[in-house]
Amino acid sequence: MSSEFDVIVAGAGPAGLSAACLLALDGRRVALVAKSRGEIADPRTVALMQPSMRLLMHLGIWPGQLKARTQPLLKLRLVDDTGSLFKAPAITFDPAEIGEDAFGWNFPLGLLIPALTARAISLGITLADADVTSVSTASDGVSVTTSAGERIAARVALAADGRNSLLRDAAGIKTNRWAYDQSALATSFEHTGAHDGISTEYHRAAGPFTTVPMPGLQSALVWLERPARAADLMALSDAELAAEIQINTHGELGRISNIGPRKLFPMNGLVARDFAKNRIILIGEAAHVVPPIGAQGLNMSLRDVAQAADLMMGEDDPGQALVLADYDAFRRRDVQPRQQAIDLMNRSLLSGYLALEGGRALGLSLISQFGPLRRAVMKYGLAPSFGLPRVMRKDQGGTPALILEANPDERRASSKYIG
């Protein structure tokens, strides 16, 4: 198969755009196939942890003009509002305990996506303003046809086309999917009290209610509720919703007003059974979907991106079997336990079983009391224990990393480590 490009990236969500930019910076010929969707009307903000921020810095979009419109996350607080017999103590995670001045930054998605799009254009990435409509894979490459009738060929394709990924199906990759009896209401609001850069996750019986600080006296809200109750909340007037938020924040942020646009997200989980196959690599929600608890979703996706770029580095054929096998092993090792931990935390709130509630309360008490355990939890929240890809590492010497160097032979040797 003759290839005009090294890599096709399908989908221009935050995962696909980041991947296209990173691979272009690595000198790859990239085709980004994504239909422009116009202005982003998405009330979500995303809390991006320090490793993700280092990737954005490497891509050249941070700090720049974004800094003034985003907010550092100075502390994270967990508050037990379940009303359970087993009440867990409140926990405050302070990044100073692990040598960081902030966990990360909170970005409006409506700022991040245009910034990444502008960067992709400035890097001269070939943009096909169309959807992928079909995919064909061969032993030496992959080609896609687009809704504009174009055919594009490359050595490898990154499936960044979201949870209903067409490329994932074309690769023959199956998924495990499940639904939670929850919806997430995302919005923002203003308040009279200072948030002090603290994000608070109030754990309630229907799921977490999380405030995430934004610049000034403003916060984002992610409120998980049973679907019927969430639909009722969507139907409230702004003043009524402000009153509900006031109750759930216990007045800790003062008086609530100026509710922003709202959107409801049904809560599902998904994990691909393979993370790469047949010259197709899954990144972002094409590979994994988790409920918004502990701000893990996009942070995991950006590690997908950085890991894929590392494994391709220095390879004449970036879609060869060894690259895909290593990618599958590394991402499986990061994504699966994290997804299970989020699932367990969520189900321990929803189940109503005393034993599970007791287990959760005990776990949180231990984390609150024992510094080493608390620090381990914080470090795990920021990065997998086996290390980070190249552009996400704090410094070349400081963070353990098993792979990564530009030399493919070194990487091959290290890939044996994870078998």
Ligand X SMILES: Cc1cc2nc3c(=O)[nH]c(=O)nc-3n(C[C@H](O)[C@H](O)[C@H](O)COP(=O)(O)OP(=O)(O)OC[C@H]3O[C@@H](n4cnc5c(N)ncnc54)[C@H](O)[C@@H]3O)c2cc1C
Closest to 73 (Cα-Cα) out of 203, 223, 195: 195
Nearest-angstrom CA–CA distance, 87 and 64? 44
How far apart are CB 29 and ligand X at their closest, in Å? 19
Closer residue to ligand X (CB): 103 or 330: 103
- Binding of ligand X by 381 (CB under 6 A): no
- Binding of ligand X by 201 (CB under 6 A): no
- 5-13, 83-91, 330-338, 403-411 -> range binding ligand X (CB under 6 A): 5-13
Nearest-angstrom CA–CA distance, 275 and 415? 16
Residue 176 · residue 273 · CB < 8 Å: yes
Task: Scan for tokens 């103590």, then name that residue.
Answer: 89
Residue from the set 71, 117, 211, 299 that interacts with ligand X by CB under 6 A: 299
Locate 180 and state its tokens: 């939670």
Torsion of CA 218, 101, 395, 320, to 10 degrees: -40
Strand 126-128 with 30-33, pairing: parallel
Closer residue to ligand X (CB): 44 or 58: 44
- 12-20, 76-84, 328-336, 352-360 -> range binding ligand X (CB under 6 A): 12-20
- Binding of ligand X by 15 (CB under 6 A): yes
Site for ligand X in 263-282 (CB under 6 A): 265
How far apart are CB 363 and ligand X at their closest, in Å? 22
How far apart are CB 364 and ligand X at their closest, in Å? 21
- Binding of ligand X by 207 (CB under 6 A): no
- Binding of ligand X by 389 (CB under 6 A): no
Closest to 103 (Cα-Cα) out of 201, 197, 217, 220: 197
Neighbours of 65 (CB within 10 A): 10
Neighbours of 218 (CB within 10 A): 16
Binding mask 226-245 for ligand X (x = CB under 6 A): --------------------
Nearest-angstrom CA–CA distance, 202 and 303? 27
Closer residue to ligand X (CB): 188 or 415: 188
Locate 83 and state its tokens: 């009303």
- Binding of ligand X by 301 (CB under 6 A): yes
Residue from the set 162, 197, 260, 269 that interacts with ligand X by CB under 6 A: 162
- Binding of ligand X by 132 (CB under 6 A): yes
Residue from the set 160, 272, 349, 383 that interacts with ligand X by CB under 6 A: 160
Helix (H) or strand (E) holding 371, with range, is: helix 371-382
- Binding of ligand X by 161 (CB under 6 A): yes
How far apart are CB 288 and ligand X at their closest, in Å? 8
Locate 378 and state its tokens: 């914080």
Nearest-angstrom CA–CA distance, 403 and 390? 9
Residue from the set 59, 76, 166, 349 that interacts with ligand X by CB under 6 A: 166
Nearest-angstrom CA–CA distance, 231 and 262? 11
Residue from the set 6, 14, 80, 170 that interacts with ligand X by CB under 6 A: 14
Site for ligand X in 23-42 (CB under 6 A): 33-34
Residue from the set 285, 310, 334, 357 that interacts with ligand X by CB under 6 A: 285
Locate 313 and state its tokens: 């580095």
Closest to 5 (Cα-Cα) out of 177, 150, 109, 147: 150
How far apart are CB 130 and ligand X at their closest, in Å? 8
Nearest-angstrom CA–CA distance, 298 and 310? 18
Residue 25 · residue 59 · CB < 8 Å: yes
Binding mask 41-80 for ligand X (x = CB under 6 A): ---x-xx---------------------------------
Interface ranges with ligand X (CB under 6 A): 10-16, 33-34, 44, 46-47, 131-132, 160-162, 166, 184, 186, 222, 265, 284-285, 292, 295-299, 301
